[in-house]
Amino acid sequence: MPILNVQISQGLSAAQKTALLQKMTQAIVDSVGAPLASIRIILQEIPPEHVIVAGEPGKEMALVTANLIQGRSDELKAALIAGVANAIEQSTGISTQNVRVVLYDIPKTDLGVAGGKTALAAGR
Q: Which residues are known to be catalytic? A: 2
Q: In what order do the strands lie in the sheet with 99-106?
A: 40-46, 3-9, 62-69, 99-106
Alpha-carbon dihedral 37, 42, 43, 46, rounded to 10 degrees:
-170
Neighbours of 56 (CB within 10 A): 11
What one-letter code names the amino acid at 3? I
The answer to whether residues 41 and 80 touch, using CB atoms and an 8 Å cutoff, is no
Cis peptide before 48 (omega within 30 of 0): no
DSSP designation for 123: T
